Amino acid sequence: MAKRIFITATNTDIGKTYVTSHLLKHYASLGFKVGVIKPIETGVVDAPIDGSLLLSLVQSLNPSMAKFDVNDIVPIQFQLPAAPYCANDAKPIDLSIVNEAIKKIEPLCDILIIEGAGGLYVPIDKNTMIIDLIKRFDAKALLVSHCRLGCINDTILSIKALQERDLNFIWTLNCHVDDQSFHQVSEPYFRDSFPDFTIFKDDIANIAKTLLL
């Protein structure tokens, strides 16, 4: 079985696909065969936007995935840009479809990156949240937080949620070029409370290494 890494975040639009893409490229540069899957994508009109980007990238990094199409990478798709629970009218979702997709991809890679949707407590259906997929797929998680005002609260809440489930995870901050206030309004707390905290773009090599432990 490939090493499974689950990319999650404190909310939507935090940068999961950005982080996933850069980790794929980093691991490939080290000689690993990489694979990727985004189990669920909503807001799909013609084709999954994130899934299409990830497919194109992983095919350039791992030629053995050349015959895969976007439906292999994103096995569950909904048109409404909402939580899967709402996008599917609160109907049950058959996640065995994802297990079958993983079975097709995993033999072709050393590292499989699984990208979640939204934050940890996005409802998939009445019985399942995104956070449940981490254990279901037996993955180590990377929690990605933001650097805007409010990141302290969002980060701590998500860390506690992962700790309460006794899940194997690390976390990082994905700072954008316009997050200039971070160093004054949030970084002092992180430095005092989490002295080993990482910023993804600066610490990708260390993050990637730790995810494999």
User: How far apart, in Å, do the first and last CA atoms of the chain sit?
Assistant: 15
Burial label, 155 (beta-carbon count in 10 A; 0-12, 13-18, 19+): buried
Distances (CA, A) of 112 to 13, 99, 102, 139: 22, 13, 9, 9
Edge-to-edge strands, sheet with 140-146: 34-37, 111-119, 3-9, 140-146, 169-174
Q: Which residues contact 69 (CB under 8 A, 6 or more apart)?
A: 55
pLDDT at 178: 87
Q: Which amino acid is at 192?
A: D
Confidence (pLDDT) at 60: 98
* Catalytic-role residue among 38, 67, 140, 209: 38
Clarify whether 67 is annotated catalytic: no
The pLDDT, as a whole number, for residue 1 is 79
Domain covering 3-211, topology:
Rossmann fold (3.40.50)
Residue 31 has a CB neighbour count (10 Å cut-off) of 7
Radius of gyration of the chain (CA): 17
Per the listing, tokens 């991809």 go with 105
Residue-range domain boundaries for the chain: 3-211
DSSP state string for 32-87? --EEEE-SEE-S-SSS-HHHHHHHHHHHHH-GGGTT--HHHH--EE-SSSS-HHHH
Q: Would you give per-residue pLDDT tens digits along the chain (213 residues)? A: 799 999 999 999 999 999 999 999 999 999 999 999 999 999 999 999 999 999 999 999 999 999 999 999 999 999 999 999 999 999 999 999 999 999 999 999 999 999 999 999 999 999 999 999 999 999 999 999 999 999 999 999 999 999 999 999 999 999 998 898 999 999 999 999 999 999 999 999 999 999 999
Nearest one of 115, 22, 108 to 76, comparing CA atoms: 115
Longest C-alpha distance within the chain, in Å?
Answer: 49
The DSSP symbol for 172 reads: E
Q: What share of the chain is helix, strand, coil (3-state, %, to 5)?
A: 45, 20, 35
> What global pTM score does this model have?
0.97
